[in-house]
Every structure is written in C-alpha cells, then in structure tokens.
Structure 1
Amino acid sequence: MESQKKYIQLDEKDNVLVALQDLQKGQPIHWKNESFALIDDIPAKHKFFINDIDEDGDIIMYGVLVGKTQHKVLKGSWMNTENVHHAAEPYYYRNVNYHWNKPDVSKFTDKTFNGFHRSNGDVGTANYWLFIPTVFCENRNLDIIKESLYTNLGYSVTDKYKEYTADILESYKNGEDIHSLSISINQPTPQKEKRVFKNIDGIKFLNHQGGCGGTRQDSEVLSNLLAAYANHPNVGGITILSLGCQHLQSHDLVENIKSKNQNFDKPILVFEQQKTQSEEFLIAEAIRQTFIGLIELNQTSRKPAPISKLCVGVKCGGSDGFSGISANPAVGYTADLLVALGAKVLLAEFPELCGAEQNMIDRCENETIAKKFIHLMQTYDAQAHAVGSGFFMNPSPGNIKDGLITDAIKSTGAAKKAGTSPVVDVLDYTEPATKPGLSLVCTPGNDVEATTGKAASGATLILFTTGLGTPTGNPVCPVIKVATNTQLATRMSDIIDIDTGTIIRGEKTIEEVGEEILEFCIKVASGEITPKAVQLNQDDFIPWKRGVSL
C-alpha cells in the first residue's frame, strides 16, 4: 500500500485515490511522476480520479472493479453518484492454489482467557440466564419479569434516566423552568459489585415478533434460531414462556434445543400461560423458579482457556470511507491472528460481499464450500431482484455521504474484516461453526439481523467496526465497537470501545492496532473489560424471516 499524508492509494492497480482529509479545489496533487490540480473540492473519505476515464470506463479500487463511469470524467475530479454507478466482475469457481502467509503469533501463543467452561467443551466469554418466548404474545410478560429482575438483582442501567425524569417532574411541579435542565452524561453505570449473583453477567430476554401468524417455515427458522441461542456457550440456563396455541410449540422448541446437543445439561424452565391459573401466577412462578436456577448457576466461575476456544464474529455497520482503510483491515489482522492461534472467526453480511465474491471463492478450501457460497449468494440476490431491489442498492444515505457510493466499494472494504486466511466453511443461517478458522455465515447486512445470526452460529465475541457510529449490541454475545476515526471515537465515546484513527494519521500500523484489538478481546473474554454495548444493555435481537432484508 502506497500512501501520503493527505491521500492514499489502496492498491497499485487503482485509478482513484482516497482523501484522508478535506482537499480543496485547485490543490496540487503530486502522484508518482506527475502533478495535477484538483478540479473539485474532495471531502475527507471520498475519492478522486488520477486519470481521465471515458464513459462506461472501469473504476478500480482495492485492485478490483467497483464501478463504471456514467460519462467521461477528468483527472482530479470528485467521484460521486452523479458520475459513477455500481459494477462488479462476475464470479465463478476456479481451482486456485491459495497460499496464506500466517502472521507471527509468538506474542499470543501462551496467552489464555478466563471463561465459563461448558460440558460439551465450549467455553463462554460470559454467563447469562436466558428468557425465551415461543411467541410474540409473551413479550409483555417478559417485559414485566425483566423490570423486576433487573432492578432487584443489580443489572439495570436506566436509573439515571428515571432520576432525570423525576427531576423534570419536580421542577415542573414547583413552577421552575425545565428548558435548560440537563442530565449528567458522565454518570457511571451500575458496577459489578452491586450484583446479587457475582458469577452471572446478566439475565437476557429474546423478545421477538414471531412464533405464530406467519408461515410454518418462519416458525421453523425461529425455532432453530432460539435453539441455537439456548445452546450458546455464553448461556447457562433458560426460561421459556409459551402462550400455548401458537405455531412454535414449547415442546418442539425443547426437542430442537436438545437435538443440537445430545448431552445438553443446562436447566430449562417452561411455563405455558394457557395451562396456568392466571397471568399473575405465571409471572410469579417464572420469577421464583428462575431465581432458584440463578442460585445454582452462580456456583460456576471463570477458569483459564486457550485462545483457540474463542469464536469471534467480525461485523461493520454505519460504515464510512475510512472503514476499509483503518478499522476493517485492523480487525482483519486480528482475525488472522485468531485463525493462526486455532480459534474460529465468522464473517457474515452476504449483501456486503458483492464485489468481493471472487476473492472469497478463491480462498475456499474446497470446491464444495465454494459452490455452497455461490449458491447462497445467487439465491439471496435473486430474491432481492424479484422485489425490485438487489445487492447493488445496499449502500445507505449515510454510507454514500461518507464516501461509499457503490456497493462494490462498500463490500470490498467490508471484506477486509475477514483478513486473508482460507475459508474453511460456509454456513447457512443458524448453522453452527464447528471448524477452527474462517467461516462465512449467510445473514443480511442489517446490523441487528447480522449480529443475531452471527451469535446463532456460535460467536462468543463480536468485533463491530463503525465510521458513523451505531449502538448495536446482542443479548448473549458481547459486542466490541471499533471506530474508524478519532473524531467518532471522541464524539460518541459512550458507545465506542476502540479507536483506529491512529492508522489514518500514520501513527500506528494496521498490524500494531490489530494486536491491540486482540489484547482487548482477551480482556473482554475474561470479564476484565465490559464493552460499552454490554454496559448499556444494548440487547438487540431481530430474527431473519428469510424474506428480503438488506
């Protein structure tokens, strides 16, 4: 990679440069053996052309086709949606002898993390009790139980807002001006020492809108998803609430849970509302029996485990023009370190692999998994086209505003999160990751649907890169937020854990930051650091109904 302070070329084949800071019209650009002046103002994170290109000419970035010109463009002009549209090369299976240069992992060979060891050999990075409704009709009951348990057992983080509302109310009653009444944004969240059960990291609730009223296929997919969460290494016990008459029957869910692990030994409590004497009795019994289960689960404690026991999902959301330059490559290097240490890494978001398909196919260890990837990609994209959309329409207004103007640009930068290791497996939605190494998981690009699916495949940590900022979390899998730029990390410090802006400024290398991210992961996996999304109880959960969701 060749770079200068103010702009950078990501691959020697590229015919565009990326602005690392705002550049002004008329500013001289010195590139290789020539100089030229910018024709337009170039905002930071955006791209400009380094030669004239005729209409329908190829735009190359990251060394691959990412778009075509809509009309002739001139050297030094700004690349934008008015002069470029999405384009990507066709992809296919070819027999490639892919060679991976493993990173040096000598710093981490003897390192361990302190996790929760499960009877099937999995090791969790957290210890949660999980509430699962079989149908949306039970969501209200879950909300009541959640409020009671969170407040009394020390897991609530909302007290400061209640106190703030009480202050506003008191001022209003006293006839005082409330227009300038502000909250202290630095109020600390509850500390671990306030918890009643010291070895239980949380009680989590999978509220959803499924289980009945849709297709039977939707209920089957939901059952597989919920069963995967019950079997998750970070889950130690389960309470199931069922209405009784819904498509997804509680006994079918329990059978599904146990079918995924023949030696399943976690406690399961099941409550059927239509078989109980009252809603009040159902809620009270669910609270009482769960409390007894929590007492037992609290007897477990963290113990050392090798890094190979980690399963780390890599995700991006609220991406910007720096995502493929700083945070994603740094996380990609972390991914390579993890794979070299024998751990599992999961890359999902199939709509955000549009334009990066050939690279992924060439990295597949065999033809079978390569063709499974091709099939899933083509089937998914065809579903999108059938309703008048397509992967090419994936970039959001925020993405475009910050320099990601075609899906291929967004996707080739997004794929950097996966590092460079071989692809050992391709998993459909809710399929578990069983092989050490990098696996591709079929999910939407939608932040919550993707993290929901990644956790279902077994991710025990998720590294989530963002350039614009997003509060996304997950109920059972700690989500670590990695900012692409320092401005974001400073402005949204309440949700960001790691800043990779040092790469943009040239202060640190991708490899140095990648190693720092792995060190951070080890501390999170050991319970020494609690990521911001976990502190805020950002427990986002959206099942994918396998309709078109981009």
Structure 2
Amino acid sequence: MKTIKLEPQDNVIVALSNLSQGSAIETNADPLTLLEDIPAKHKVFEQDMAADQDIIMYGVRVGKTTQAVKAGARMSTENSKHATDPYQYRGLQASWQALDVSKYQGRTFQGYHRPDGRVGTANYWLFIPTVFCENRNMDVIKAALLDNLGYNKPNDYQDYVQSLIHAVEEGESLEQVDIASLAPSTHRVFQNIDGIKFLNHQGGCGGTRQDAQSLGKLLASYIDHPNVAGATILGLGCENLQMQDLFAELEKRNPNLHKPILRFEQQKTGTEQELIKTCLLQTFKALKEVNKQERQPAGLDKLVLGVKCGGSDGFSGISANPAVGYAADLLVSLGGSVLLAEFPELCGAEQQLLDRMDSAENAEKFIKLMELYSQSAEAVGSGFHMNPSPGNIRDGLITDAMKSNGAAKKGGNSPVADVLEYTEPVKKAGLNLVCTPGNDVEATTGKAASGATLILFTTGLGTPTGNPICPTIKVATNNQLAARMPDIIDINSGSIIDGSKSIAEVGEEILDYCIAAASGTVIPKAVQLQQDDFIPWKRGISL
C-alpha cells in the first residue's frame, strides 16, 4: 500500500512511501496522476481546489488553501494555511464501548504501595532546591552520592577522550579510536531505591510572586508523587519561595502524606560544609528506612498513564499515536487513568473532545483554559497556528490543526472524565485532559505533576528526553527511526505503516510493555540513559 485516505470525507491522501512525479495512485474515483514528487508522510490533494477552500483530514477541517491547486499536487506551507472549525459544548455526543480486556483480567504489576492507596511504578528519593542559589550545592551532593551508591551510568566518553589523548601523544590516527565498552555498575547500596534524582531549576526568586507560587505547587506535586519515597529540600532562606510556603502547598495537596521529608536552610545552618555534611547524614538515615519498601502486586487500575508526542512526523497520527490511544482505551477499560495534555496540540480537535464530555463543568473549564491560552499567545504576536516546528513541517505536518488531530489520537476514544489545571492532581479514573504546553519537557514535567506513573512518548523524528521520576517509554512511528536510533526507542509502531500489524496489535504490545516497565522487569531506554529532564512552566507563552 502506497497511500492511505484516513476518512471518506477527506480531500487529501497520505503518502506512505516516496512517490514519483507522473506516477498514478488509486483513489475511490479514477487513478490520480501525481504532479510532483511526494515524499513519504506528506499529503496529496485528491481533487482540484479553489483558493480559500477547506482542507479536510481525519474527517475535520485542518486548513484552507491559500491559492488554487490541482489534484495531484502536494500540500505545503505555500498553498495551505491553518484553519479550524469553531467549537462549543453540545452535551455528550459520542458513544463508546469499553474494549474487551478479558486477556488482562487478573493481571497485576509489581509496584510500591503508598499509605493513601496509590501505587508507584518506581521508588525514587528526591533532592529539591527551593531556589536556583542552591543548584551548586545540589551538584556537589550529586557528585558525592551517585557514583558511590551505584546509580550513575558509566561515562563512556571519559574513556573515549582518554583514548583520543593517547592517540595524539602516540601519533596515532584519531579516526581509529572507538568508544570503550564499560560494564555498568552492579553495586547498588540501596536495592529497593530505584534512583536519587535532583530537580535543579532556575526559579524560586526574582521573577513574579506568581512564578514562585507555581513552582511551589510543582515541587509539592513531585514530593507527593507515588513514585517518590521521600525528599531532601535545600533552601537559602531569603528567596521568594519560602520553605514554609512549599510545605503549605504540600499540606493542601495531601494533608495525610506519610513519607520522610528533610529540610535544610543554608542561611540558618552556617558553612557550606556543615550544610552538606548534615544533609548527607540525615539523608542516609532516611534512605536506610525507605529501602525497606518492596514491590508488591497491584491491579492495573492503579496505573496512571501519561501520553505525549514529540518530534512528530506525518506518520504520528497514523501509527504510534493511534496505537498508544488503543493502549489508553485498554487501560481505561481496566479502570486505570490516562492523562492527555499539550493544549496547543489540541487546537482543532476541541469539538471531538467536548463531544466526549457529559459534564458541563468540565466542558466550560476546558473551553476557558483553551481560550485564555490562545489569547495569551496571540497577545504577544504568536498563536497556536505557529506550533508546528520546522522538523514537523518538513516531515508532513503542515498546519497545527493537522498536527493536533493526529496528536489527540494518543488519548484514545473513551469519554473525558476530568479536566485538570497545571499541577492539579488526577482524582478520577478514565481519560483526563491536563493543561500543559506542547513543549516536550514542560509537558512531561506537567504530566508527572498531575500523577502520571508512566509516560508513553511517541516520536517520528527521534526525541532524547525523559523525566526524573516517571519512567518514559518511547514509541517510534516508523521503521527507519527505530533502526536509526535504537538507543532511545523502546517500541516500534512502524509495522502499522508497512501493514504487518494492526493498531490493536501494537496497542496491546504497548500495554504489555507498560506492565513490565511498571514492575521494574524492563527498564525504558530514557531511564537507562538517565534522561532526567525537568523544566517548570512559568505559565508564560510556550507552545
């Protein structure tokens, strides 16, 4: 199969492989002769189009033509522009039937049970600065701890540089030097602690008081997270985000939190040496206690799955995103929770999401968040229409509405159970919409803040990112990426494009992988590579 038409009413066709000018492709009517070369992932106009005519894909408007175009021409930024349909709440319109999950009945994962009933997929200890002034102390503590406790990934590049130096000194060819192969450290002092993570950031002082308040909510959400065993917090003492403000946010979020939280303020402690020595001693005492926690069986309804896309391409909405959406529907059918975020990448998909809501309150909240976000972007001369990156466009995502309708497929087809503000915790099973930017790291940071215990991250171009506390699983949209970047890809959905597997088959593979990752029996590549990316959103304009 060379092409695919996603919905009967579409007037563009997707190229599944590179197509040559002059070749013919099958359509529902007569064969269509291509007027130019069509790269894989790009779209071909199926019919002659006048200027300012609607471009339909996924069954909805994703743009308008900017000029007259002929059937067989490629859709591009020169002949097309972003356009969407208006949206409003009409009550529940969509019907959905839970999937057959009989093969998953009785399945469990091995997780860390918390006193409040939540279950973590990992057991991390956090070091958190209330202000950027403490980042250096964080770095000193990190250097002292991670190697000695067996958590650091061996740095192959150090040996590589040593080999290059040796080659220079001996007059040997640099081209023949290869990266040395090092065996990872197998000595972990605390076997039931999956890692010690450092949430360095550039906030906490300066900026606005609202920035500090938002940061306090975010840091409190990470301390409260079910994947976190406890935390060590370092403050300076004079910053905007005062220690008592952070603990007040934590009290509001979870007044019954039962985990060790250590706090130190440098201006009260005295010398840097005394601060770090006391911090390390007290942290070691706490680590000895939380190391007694062990994985225990938990039902799949305890999983909270964040779904994200980044480095998207023209296949994202056809392979990886629908497959992740199928896995999401399976989990919802099992009583679990799914978090779909990236509000700039829901532009053009609003109506289909509103039609899956039976709560006017949720619908009003979603519309308000979308409109305020969009208006803020437009006020500074930007807008959701500027969301696609050069890489997105180069690989066939021409308008934001096209990108968004493909991105929304990660959430599957189940009803929308709730709409959450940035850092607002998930409380309901089912599909939850979470307000975050589309920016990869800001979005994954926000998903973890709302309680995601695993993140499924689809990519068509290759995105090397992860999260400090939420294991992040990468799903490739195409075979070429999976072969080119196997060090970051966990699952390949390119089999959907080549026709060897169905969306449902890959969706089940994804859920099976999630169960194994949640149990610690497989370690996602992002975790292995220590891709611990953490960027707080200041609520400014970020697409």
Give 1:159's aligned amino acid.
N
1:34 Cα deviation after fit? 1.0
Deviations 1:81-111 (Å, cap 9, x if unpaired)?
1110000001111123431122111111110
Asked if the contact 1:227–1:257 (Cα under 8 Å) also holds between the matched residues in 2, the reply is yes
Q: What is residue 44 of structure 1 aligned with on the other side?
A: 40
What pairs with 1:17-416 in structure 2 (closer than 5 Å)? 17-184=13-180, 187=181, 190=184, 193-416=186-409
Asked if the contact 2:154–2:182 (Cα under 8 Å) also holds between the matched residues in 1, the reply is no
Give 1:190's aligned amino acid.
P
Query: Quick one: structure 1 residues 188 and 259, their matched pair in 2 at CA, closer, same or farther if it must change by over 3 Å?
Result: farther
Asked if the contact 2:159–2:179 (Cα under 8 Å) also holds between the matched residues in 1, the reply is no
1:179 Cα deviation after fit? 4.5
Asked if the contact 2:442–2:536 (Cα under 8 Å) also holds between the matched residues in 1, the reply is yes
Query: Quick one: structure 1 residues 239 and 334, their matched pair in 2 at CA, closer, same or farther if it must change by over 3 Å?
Result: same
Deviations 1:218-237 (Å, cap 9, x if unpaired)?
00000000000000000001
1:171 Cα deviation after fit? 3.1
Is 1:457 matched with 2:411? no
1:475 Cα deviation after fit? 0.5
Separation (CA, whole Å) in 2 of partners of 1:344 and 1:467: 25
Asked if the contact 2:418–2:432 (Cα under 8 Å) also holds between the matched residues in 1, the reply is yes
- TM-score (norm: length of structure 2): 0.98
Asked if the contact 2:479–2:492 (Cα under 8 Å) also holds between the matched residues in 1, the reply is yes
1:308 Cα deviation after fit? 0.2
Q: What is residue 523 of structure 1 aligned with on the other side?
A: 516
1:158 Cα deviation after fit? 3.8
Separation (CA, whole Å) in 1 of partners of 2:183 and 2:461: 24
Task: Determine which of 451, 467, 479 is the counterpart of 1:486.
Answer: 479
Asked if the contact 2:135–2:200 (Cα under 8 Å) also holds between the matched residues in 1, the reply is yes
Deviations 1:172-192 (Å, cap 9, x if unpaired)?
3444443542315xx46626x
Separation (CA, whole Å) in 1 of partners of 2:160 and 2:32: 57
- Equivalenced residue count is 543
Give 2:210's aligned amino acid.
Q
1:527 Cα deviation after fit? 0.3
1:396 Cα deviation after fit? 0.1
Separation (CA, whole Å) in 2 of partners of 1:168 and 1:432: 50
Separation (CA, whole Å) in 2 of partners of 1:277 and 1:171: 48
Deviations 1:231-264 (Å, cap 9, x if unpaired)?
0000001000101110111122123223321221
Separation (CA, whole Å) in 2 of partners of 1:305 and 1:122: 10
Q: What stretches of structure 1 of length at least 5 have no aligned partner?
A: none
Asked if the contact 2:324–2:456 (Cα under 8 Å) also holds between the matched residues in 1, the reply is yes
SS at match of 1:363: coil
Query: Quick one: structure 1 residues 217 and 356, their matched pair in 2 at CA, closer, same or farther if it must change by over 3 Å?
Result: same
Separation (CA, whole Å) in 1 of partners of 2:518 and 2:490: 14
Deviations 1:481-516 (Å, cap 9, x if unpaired)?
000011101111001100000000100000010001
Q: What is residue 11 of structure 1 aligned with on the other side?
A: 7
Query: Quick one: structure 1 residues 371 and 318, their matched pair in 2 at CA, closer, same or farther if it must change by over 3 Å?
Result: same
Q: What stretches of structure 2 of length at least 5 have no aligned partner?
A: none
**Aligned-residue identity in percent:** 63
Deviations 1:443-467 (Å, cap 9, x if unpaired)?
0000000000000000000000000
SS at match of 1:34: coil
Give 1:133's aligned amino acid.
P
Asked if the contact 1:189–1:535 (Cα under 8 Å) also holds between the matched residues in 2, the reply is no
Dislocated runs of 4+, deviation >4 Å: none
Give 1:470's aligned amino acid.
T
Asked if the contact 1:122–1:233 (Cα under 8 Å) also holds between the matched residues in 2, the reply is yes
Separation (CA, whole Å) in 2 of partners of 1:340 and 1:305: 16
Give 2:92's aligned amino acid.
V
SS at match of 2:456: strand
Separation (CA, whole Å) in 1 of partners of 2:282 and 2:421: 36
Asked if the contact 2:327–2:511 (Cα under 8 Å) also holds between the matched residues in 1, the reply is yes
Deviations 1:342-399 (Å, cap 9, x if unpaired)?
0010000000000101001111121110110000000000000000000000000000
Asked if the contact 2:472–2:526 (Cα under 8 Å) also holds between the matched residues in 1, the reply is yes
SS at match of 1:107: helix
Bigger mean CA deviation after superposition, 425-434 or 246-255: 246-255
Separation (CA, whole Å) in 1 of partners of 2:255 and 2:215: 20
SS at match of 2:62: strand
Separation (CA, whole Å) in 1 of partners of 2:211 and 2:380: 19
Query: Quick one: structure 1 residues 507 and 317, their matched pair in 2 at CA, closer, same or farther if it must change by over 3 Å?
Result: same
1:400 Cα deviation after fit? 0.2
SS at match of 1:41: coil
SS at match of 1:269: strand
Give 1:208's aligned amino acid.
H
SS at match of 1:194: coil
Give 1:283's aligned amino acid.
I
SS at match of 1:68: strand
1:327 Cα deviation after fit? 0.1
Asked if the contact 1:317–1:470 (Cα under 8 Å) also holds between the matched residues in 2, the reply is yes
Query: Quick one: structure 1 residues 188 and 456, their matched pair in 2 at CA, closer, same or farther if it must change by over 3 Å?
Result: farther
Separation (CA, whole Å) in 1 of partners of 2:161 and 2:148: 20
Separation (CA, whole Å) in 2 of partners of 1:269 and 1:13: 59
Q: What is residue 475 of structure 1 aligned with on the other side?
A: 468
